[in-house]
Amino acid sequence: MTAKGKRALITGASSGIGEATAIAFAKAGINLALLSRSPEKLEKVADTARHEGVNVETLTLDLLELDRVRDEVSAFAEKCGGIDILVNNAGMAYTGKLMDTPLHHWQKVLDLNLTSALECVKGVVPGMRSKGSGIIINVVSIAGKQAFPVWGAYSASKFGLLGMSQALAAEEREHGIRVTALCPGAVNTPIWETETVESDFDRSKMLTPDIVAQSILQIVQLPDSAVVEELVLMPSGGAF
């Protein structure tokens, strides 16, 4: 699959890994369909990407509105002329011991990090099947392979996303759809500044969004005959 000229849908595209991936894709000639709940930030990313000469469409949507996600993404994909690449990047972090985690917080983490990703998949897979090709990259986390204290809800959602990725890969292989679970270690993004996270990690030792974005770009530039089913990307300095 030649990535140039294809169309990629990126969720959580207004900041962090999503923003960096959008710009990296644009520089590689990949047209964009960008989704975020933050319209002003999203338009800034879209404008930057357009300066690279690619076509960019945007959709403002809160992925926690689960009953809307599948239909909205499906309609957006149709408006864009089809989606060749889906990067499920949107998500949230949450810290707190499991015994102290309120049910509504637990549900919100799973809804956004896991269930909304599945609904986005449902929105684009029919179109990919009709073409007989497609790439889905689910941004998991090292916390989807290794659990950490006070990160229980987050880890549960990411373990689930990894399992979903593996099942999806097996189910859609016959339709020419390739699925990658990307499991990065800690990445220096605005997620560490959100009100649901309490952490004192040294962010200077973390991966940067640009490094993760370059890994995602390399995955989508592979020939059709190859797939990275799972990639663990860690900071070389030892920070998780």
Phi, psi of 104 (to 5 degrees): -70, -30
Structure tokens at 129: 């099947």
Buried b or exposed e, range 101-118, using 16+ CB within 10 angstroms? beeeebebbbbbbbbbbb
Integer Rg of the chain from CA: 17
Does residue 238 come out as left (phi exceeding 0), alpha (psi in the -120 to 50 range) or beta? Answer: left
| Residues 137/180, Cβ–Cβ less than 8 Å | yes
| Residues 219/228, Cβ–Cβ less than 8 Å | yes
**In 10 A of CB 47, how many CB atoms?**
10
| Residues 3/221, Cβ–Cβ less than 8 Å | yes
Q: Which helix (H) or strand (E) holds 62?
A: none
The whole-angstrom separation of Cα 129 and Cα 134 is 8
Of 94, 151, 154, 159, the catalytic one is 154
Structure tokens at 124: 């684009």
Q: Which helix (H) or strand (E) holds 17?
A: helix 16-27
* Known catalytic membership, residue 94: no
> What residues act catalytically?
154
